[in-house]
Amino acid sequence: MDKNLTLLTDFYELTMMNGYLQNGMADKVAVFDLFFRQGNESTFCIACGLEQAIDYIKNISFGNEEIEYLRSLGTFGEDFLSRLAGFKFKGDVRALPEGTVVFPNEPLMVIKGSVFEAQLLEAALLNIVNFQTLIATKAARVVRAARGRGVLEFGLRRAQAPDAAVYGARAAVIGGCVSTSNVLASMLFDTDPKGTHAHSWVMSFDAELSAFRAYAELYPTNCLLLIDTYDTLKSGLPNAITVFRELKEKGYKPVGVRLDSGDLAYLTKETRRVLDEAGFPEAKIFVSGDLDEYTIESLYIQGAKIDVYGVGTRLITSHSNPSLGGVYKIAEFDGRPKLKISDNAAKITNPGEKEIYRIYDGATKMAVADLICLKDEKIDFTAPLTLTHPTDRWKKLTLTDYFVRPLLVDVMKNGEDILERKSVTELRSRCNAGLNEFWSEYKRLDKPQIYKVDLSDELYNLKQELLAKGGKK
């Protein structure tokens, strides 16, 4: 939102930038990859946060206040501060479009520019992209568990801060939620806010029926009543039906009822039965109350009668997986590929500037594998394509009837913003379409099948060469 995020960085980014300057390295070109490692609940994520990431990059500006603060630290010389005063990112950025399904070790963003400029971006980009990608992914899981029923994002009051609430709501809609209760997010991102009334509305009246009647009088075309303030089946539901009949006599159709507590499986089945018997089969049943994909899955198995889910805390905080292991690693410096070595194989990076191709079966049009290769690598996609497991090289798959799609697109060129911006509803459609390209086995909530992500022979061989030389070429 409207604030200078220039100093939203870790101090070591600045000390390294000063080091590059003092050692005559500041203008050497570097390539950084932003990606996540294995460890998320899903084998995949939904790329999100790119628009805000690009806005951050193009708006970096060290004003007098920032320069004076850094000067006060006594760490940096005037030559460094002077360079910061004229800072503008002039490099290139390629990225996965928001809403794209992405897998571990695949770059969500590729940043290419002077190391002085590109180094500064690390912490803020990870903050922006990690969070929105995490929430979009959680939303996609929740929506999948809902099996076509609508999911509303209700997490504002439990989000860790205003920005988390706003951008979390944005990410949730991109991930598949039909809307949000967050009015500010709805205004900023052009969605229709959703909501009804709270228990306090009912409790502020002398009688539940009076509260329902007052609400129906105010909103006759949008009457959705919360029926669990006192006793769902003995009080709330009968009173709601009374009001619904009064609305019907006036020519209005009620929207439905909402439950926020109790045994939702049992209560929704009973509520559905009573509503149908009363002549309101079109009235929808909304539920909320500490829901997530696991609870929704359980409710489905139990035969609960639910039309719409309101999901708050466990979505906006990604309660069961509260962080995404996104990293920002140098892949090339001064024209030379770079590789980080670790005793943990999962932390060994892939060197060089890269491209990602998604490979589809020609007959089914379903995604079968991704291929990470070097950006300038020439691959004949008209010939049979043999994919090899990145670690278990004896595992091979040869495709003859297939087609490919490159995933990374240009979003900044020479420091200029060229991102094609889309509405959150358009991005949600992209996300839904992308998820539909994958077999359900890859999208299971529990123990999903591992999707194939291969390294090209040229990239694999380069990685092995650098490993043999201790990471140096």
Q: How confident is residue 38, by pLDDT bands cut at 50, 70 and 90? A: confident
Q: Is the pLDDT of residue 40 over 70?
A: no
Separation CA 272–CA 209 (nearest Å): 20
The torsion region of residue 347 among left (phi > 0), alpha (psi -120 to 50) and beta comes to alpha
C-beta of residue 463 within 8 angstroms of C-beta of residue 471: no
CATH code linked to domain 136-316: 3.20.20.70
Beta strand 308-311 with 150-153 is: parallel
Q: How confident is residue 220, by pLDDT bands cut at 50, 70 and 90? A: very high
Separation CA 460–CA 464 (nearest Å): 6
pLDDT, one tens digit per residue, over 319-368 is 999 999 999 999 999 999 999 999 988 899 999 999 999 999 999 999 99
pLDDT, one tens digit per residue, over 395-404 is 899 999 999 9
Kindly report the average pLDDT of the chain as a whole number: 96
Per-residue three-class SS string for 174-240: HCCCCEECCHHHHHHHCCCCCCCCCHHHHHCCCCHHHHHHHHHHHCCCCCEEECCCCCHHHHHHHHH
Separation CA 228–CA 329 (nearest Å): 51
Separation CA 367–CA 436 (nearest Å): 9
Instruction: Give pLDDT, residue 390.
Output: 75
Q: How confident is residue 394, by pLDDT bands cut at 50, 70 and 90? A: confident
Residue whose token pair is 């943990």: 344
Separation CA 336–CA 31 (nearest Å): 10
Q: Is the pLDDT of residue 471 over 90?
A: no
Q: How confident is residue 39, by pLDDT bands cut at 50, 70 and 90? A: low
State the DSSP code for 74.
T
- State the Cα angle at 187 between 184 and 192, rounded to 5°: 105
Q: Token digits for 91?
A: 């490099």
Instruction: Give pLDDT, residue 262.
Output: 97
Q: Token digits for 457?
A: 């022979």
SS3 category, 147 = coil
Per-residue three-class SS string for 297-333: HHHHHCCCCCCEEEECHHHHCCCCCCCCCEEEEEEEE
pLDDT, one tens digit per residue, over 260-285 is 999 999 999 999 999 999 999 999 99
Domain at 11-135+322-468: CATH architecture: Alpha-Beta Barrel (3.20)
Separation CA 172–CA 166 (nearest Å): 10
Pairwise pLDDT comparison (389 vs 249), residue with the higher score: 249
Separation CA 52–CA 174 (nearest Å): 14
The mean per-residue pLDDT over the stretch 19-44 comes to 93
Q: How confident is residue 376, by pLDDT bands cut at 50, 70 and 90? A: very high
What proportion of the chain, given as a percentage, has pLDDT over 70? 99
Separation CA 268–CA 271 (nearest Å): 5
Between the alpha carbon of residue 105 and those of residues 236, 348, 407, 427, 454, the distances in Å are 51, 10, 14, 23, 10
Q: How confident is residue 2, by pLDDT bands cut at 50, 70 and 90? A: low
Between the alpha carbon of residue 16 and those of residues 23, 74, 351, the distances in Å are 10, 16, 21
Q: Token digits for 228?
A: 């669990």
Q: How confident is residue 246, by pLDDT bands cut at 50, 70 and 90? A: very high
Residue spans per domain, the chain? 11-135+322-468, 136-316
Q: Token digits for 174?
A: 């991109």
Separation CA 71–CA 52 (nearest Å): 29
Beta strand 92-95 with 45-46 is: unpaired
Q: How confident is residue 118, by pLDDT bands cut at 50, 70 and 90? A: very high
Residue whose token pair is 């490993």: 467
Q: Token digits for 126?
A: 């990870």
Q: Is the pLDDT of residue 1 over 60?
A: no
